[in-house]
Structure 1
Amino acid sequence: MFSLEDETFQVFGICSLLLLAKMTFMSLLTSRQRIKTGKFANKEDSYFGDKSAPANLKESLKANDEVERVRRAHMNDMENIYPFILIGFFYCLTGPNSNTAKFHFITFLMARVLHTIVYILAVKQPARVFVRLRPTEAVQAVKKSKNCVVIEDECEFEASGILDNASQDETFKVVGRPLVEATLRGISSTLLAYGGIGSGKTYSLYGGKVNHERGIIPRALEMIVQKMGSAQIQVSAYEVRSTDHIVDLLTPGPIDLVTCTVGGQLRDISSFPLKDGQSVRDIMKLIETNRTINSHQMTSITILQHDEAAGETIKSQLLFVDLASAGRNSVVSRQLSLLEHVVVTLGCKRGTRVPYRECRLTHTLQASLSSETNTALLCTLQPDKKLLSEALATIRFASRASKMPISREVRDRAPDPFLKVSELNKEIETLKRELSVQSLLTRGKSTMGIEPLNANQIAEAQRQVE
């Protein structure tokens, strides 16, 4: 029999009150964030604390990441807490087992609180690591066990996904497609490909000679072409050679050296607009023609999307990095060691200095390895027992890279060229109207608004000059 004295109902009531209090707190927190950032949903709200119109009304009505994050958490609470209260009430009427019911109620309460903390604080997720095993008929030292790579039945590494005997299409769906989709949503992404000589790293990214062997990069370009809409797409490609020079790969004529500036930004780098399938083939042909061995190749895809609702342009970048295999090249080995040092430092606690400027490779990857980028790593392995040392080195790098923190909710809002053009056109129209009014007012008068001199005044002026 249902009773208010029932312990199950009392626990349900306490959990419901705490959840409602939490939801009310989220509402107040949303208001606080709007006031703090000066970003409001409605025009009349922008007058808060000031009876006069704000200096820039359009700016105050734009979306803000800090406000949107709190608002989405509040909306998520409403979508879950109200159904919980309704369903929980009828659940109590059924006379459930007291311990089971209390477990469900308390678990839901803790889950909602934990979700809000993680979401509001934007707790960074570990970088995703995928391992692709190259098929071989030799004696295998590397084996797959569920989502773990086992080397010599001793060393184990748990990956986000293991591609064993996978096709190029399957590899793209698992590794490449999520990165493309994130970039199209405005979240910059990076894919690092790491592996030994002949492990299939370059094949995974660029592919083979026949159509079904296309790699991740051409498939990503094709997918972007299909879904680009009105977005502006620019593609750049370059490589960091063992001489520590940065070389442009899309230069149709002589190869040009590229300068790396503060923050790893590249200057004098050429870019090709991505418009259709033919431009994809042209870009891939230039890359294949100009790239060299023992070099780290980067293919950068920059997407500019106009958000009409917010009146701004969202800029995102998708970067594919084909890291050279060390082999016996001491310079490449040093570059990879410095990159590994950067990766280890990124996995340490905040405040630790990251040595990006130790070499050109790490310097150019500075922005792409930041915590504001959605990072993934594709490690390619040859299970051959004779190549055990290369497999161990690759797994060591993968283990360290998996600790790099990333955030998948950061968007880079670039200066909006569309909005700027619109504002300039409006200003031109306003100036034209002012000129036409001025012309009407000064008709028959000088442009300074002064009556023209008569004959006597002109004669008097000449006499004074003489």
Structure 2
Amino acid sequence: MVKQTIQIFARVKPTKKQTAEYFVDCEEQGGSLEFVVPRDLADGVINNKRENYKFRFQKVFDQTANQEEIFEAIAKPVADNVLAGYNGTIFAYGQTGSGKTFTITGGAENYNDRGIIPRTLSYLYQHFSKDSSMIYTTHISYLEIYNETGYDLLNPQHEASRLEDLPKVTIMEDPDQNIHLKNLSLQQSANEEEALDLLFLGDTNRMIAETPMNQASTRSHCIFTIHLCSKELGSAMVRCSKLHLVDLAGSERVGKTGVGGQILTEAKYINLSLHYLEQVIIALSEKNRSHIPYRNSMMTSVLRDSLGGNCMTTMIAAVSVERKNTGESISTCRFAQRVALIKNDALLNEELDPALLIVRLKKEIQCLKEELALVTGEQRSDKLTQEEIQQLEEQIDVYLEDPDSEVTLNLGPDMRKIQFCFSLLKNILLTFTTMHFSLSVLELSVSQQEAFEVFLRDHEDRLSIENNRAVLQQRSVFTLCSTSFILYLFVLFCLGVAGNLMPSESDSVEERILNQIEEEKKHYKIKSGCLKGLKTEIEHLQLLHEKLKVKLQKDFENWWTQEGARLKVLFLYNMHNMVCHFYGRFILTDRDRISTKKSRKKKKHIK
């Protein structure tokens, strides 16, 4: 458990208008923001108003601070804690137009204007890609609270034209006072691109209304939540944490903004919810306060863990230093000072993997059922199911293959399973004995291949088989050569060999070609006749070889059967002698032991 107060930071919005007199003091151990309010002469001679208002923060970011500095100092430490398994919350508080949305979400004009949400997503997914020892899964939710009604901004219906088209989110509380948000969807994001698409979808569905004070002021509270689960490879423990990134609606004085109608109603709801938030903060800062009014508003109910619970929380006080906004800025800083008094007890959200936990509980339930059946004598059906038989056969296989001598066969109190396993083991033993006998017989003799070679060496048809094999090889080689020669003649004829011969002076070219063709025809007829004769001879030799082969196989099988029977009788004879010899020694040993005991008793009696 980590006990930590809520960290508070201040950020001054840049402005080109006339500013109030303020001072930013940055120190190593923190920073301070001081406002100077001059006395008003209209109040008369007696003026008890303070002139200086000084507030302490963890750090104060002046007008020149950029988005990268904000992320590194505020969001990155919280993201690291979330990666370690702790819940985290970052929320921005301040009046309308003080730069809360720019700080949390960012601007849309430049890439460097990205806010805390997109930068945190990028930081987390970069960490996932570098850390190969962990398995990470992320889900994202985006909740909007408008006029005390919750809406799911990540509804799959992209074409929602009105806020009322989005699903309404309601709060439910279990007996342990844990908050559950009904109808709030959790969208899984496998990479940074998918997460940013969800952020864009939520921002598109977000309710925007214009006020004279801020033409892009958000009129609702928005909570962007990253749910992160991490697990080491091969580990049964899983860590599940969440990070709330909250953009609160701006507080404002209705008379100052000059709004009416629907906008006035919105402002009342916003101010009321912020008032309830302030009540919760005040109650938490009081030591002896027993009741904390979380249920007064939906926002304080959702942020219950973030305020005085299991969470590491950070607040960003967004202030505007324009002279006309000095009062609201001082009020924001006062609120931050009260928030800094709240202590949270952050716990490491680590638990056993639910899948493994289910497996363990199922085994435990099965063991309890078997123990109960053994005690109560519960009657079971007479026959085992096919599934139970298959499981028992697998258990027997694992039991016999395990080299550990201390391994046990856990069958429970079911006598049907015990009897079945005894029967199965008996069959395995009989089969093993038969196989052992057969293997022993084979070991006493030579292998079947070696036996066949011995048998063939003395067989009467061995010479005939060898002669036929030699003649077949000779004829096959001759056939291959003859075929190649005929193919050569055919190619030679096609290429016009006769045309390539140099004609003599006395013979014409046509006569030489005709003579050459006649010669090639004679050679072709001779070779073709030889091939036909070889074909007939080879077929006859193959037939004789197959007949001898079949006869030789039958003769060997008969011989092998007789030889096996002889070896079997020899093996049984040797086994009989060995058993008789063993039991003879065993009986002799028992007799010696008995005689030894008698002699000892006799000696003791004599003494």
| Larger mean Cα displacement after TM superposition, 227-236 or 290-299 | 227-236
- Cα deviation per residue 1:174-233 (whole Å; 9 max; x = unaligned)? 111011000000111111110111111100010011211110011111111122351111
Partners of 1:430 and 1:226 in 2: CA distance: 49
- Indicate whether 1:319 and 2:244 are aligned: yes
- Residue matched to 2:112: 212
CA displacement at 1:284 relative to structure 2: 1.4
CA displacement at 1:158 relative to structure 2: 0.5
DSSP 3-state at the match of 2:135 = coil
Amino acid at match of 2:81: A
Tell me if structure 1 keeps the 8 A contact 2:308–2:345. Answer: no
Partners of 2:331 and 2:145 in 1: CA distance: 21
**Change in CA separation of 1:420 and 1:142 when aligned onto 2, cut-off 3 Å:** same
Aligned residue pair count: 322
Partners of 1:372 and 1:442 in 2: CA distance: 53
- Cα deviation per residue 1:224-267 (whole Å; 9 max; x = unaligned)? 1122351111110101112x111111113141001111133212
**Change in CA separation of 1:351 and 1:272 when aligned onto 2, cut-off 3 Å:** same
- Residue matched to 2:170: 259
| Larger mean Cα displacement after TM superposition, 427-436 or 395-404 | 427-436
- Indicate whether 1:140 and 2:20 are aligned: yes
- Residue matched to 2:478: none
**Change in CA separation of 1:432 and 1:298 when aligned onto 2, cut-off 3 Å:** farther
CA displacement at 1:370 relative to structure 2: 3.0
CA displacement at 1:305 relative to structure 2: 1.5
Partners of 1:219 and 1:332 in 2: CA distance: 28
- Residue matched to 1:401: 339
Which of 58, 76, 101 does residue 202 from structure 1 map onto? Answer: 101
Partners of 2:226 and 2:350 in 1: CA distance: 16
- Residue matched to 2:153: 249
**Change in CA separation of 1:231 and 1:432 when aligned onto 2, cut-off 3 Å:** farther
Partners of 1:396 and 1:223 in 2: CA distance: 32
- Residue matched to 1:158: 56
Matches within 5 A, 1:204-353: 204-209=103-108, 210-228=110-128, 229-242=134-147, 244-253=148-157, 254-262=165-173, 263-292=178-207, 293-307=218-232, 311-327=236-252, 328=254, 329-349=267-287, 352-353=290-291
**Change in CA separation of 1:347 and 1:231 when aligned onto 2, cut-off 3 Å:** same
**Change in CA separation of 1:332 and 1:432 when aligned onto 2, cut-off 3 Å:** farther
Matches within 5 A, 1:407-446: 407-408=345-346, 410-414=347-351, 416-420=353-357, 433-434=391-392, 436=394, 441=420
- Residue matched to 2:81: 182
Amino acid at match of 1:260: I
- Cα deviation per residue 1:393-413 (whole Å; 9 max; x = unaligned)? 2112111111111234x1123
Partners of 2:57 and 2:309 in 1: CA distance: 20
- Indicate whether 1:129 and 2:129 are aligned: no
**Change in CA separation of 1:256 and 1:388 when aligned onto 2, cut-off 3 Å:** same
- Cα deviation per residue 1:279-308 (whole Å; 9 max; x = unaligned)? 122111112101123110001111112256
- Residue matched to 2:567: none
DSSP 3-state at the match of 2:168 = coil
TM-score scaled by length of structure 2 = 0.49
- Indicate whether 1:149 and 2:30 are aligned: no
Bigger Rg, structure 1 or 2:
2
Which of 289, 296, 303 does residue 358 from structure 1 map onto? Answer: 296
Partners of 1:218 and 1:314 in 2: CA distance: 23
CA displacement at 1:131 relative to structure 2: 0.4
Tell me if structure 2 keeps the 8 A contact 1:141–1:384. Answer: no
Name the % identity.
Answer: 27
Partners of 2:308 and 2:59 in 1: CA distance: 23
TM-score scaled by length of structure 1 = 0.64
**Change in CA separation of 1:430 and 1:284 when aligned onto 2, cut-off 3 Å:** farther
- Residue matched to 2:559: none
Tell me if structure 1 keeps the 8 A contact 2:34–2:53. Answer: yes
Amino acid at match of 2:195: V
CA displacement at 1:268 relative to structure 2: 2.0
Tell me if structure 2 keeps the 8 A contact 1:143–1:383. Answer: no
Partners of 1:407 and 1:239 in 2: CA distance: 27
CA displacement at 1:357 relative to structure 2: 0.5
DSSP 3-state at the match of 1:225 = helix
- Cα deviation per residue 1:9-51 (whole Å; 9 max; x = unaligned)? xxxxxxxxxxxxxxxxxxxxxxxxxxxxxxxxxxxxxxxxxxx
Amino acid at match of 1:239: E
Structure with bigger helix share is 2
**Change in CA separation of 1:424 and 1:363 when aligned onto 2, cut-off 3 Å:** closer
What is the root-mean-square deviation in Å for CA atoms of aligned residues?
2.9
Unpaired runs of 5+ residues, structure 1, are 1-64, 66-121, 446-466
Tell me if structure 2 keeps the 8 A contact 1:312–1:419. Answer: no
**Change in CA separation of 1:431 and 1:403 when aligned onto 2, cut-off 3 Å:** farther
DSSP 3-state at the match of 1:231 = strand
CA displacement at 1:140 relative to structure 2: 2.8
- Residue matched to 2:162: none
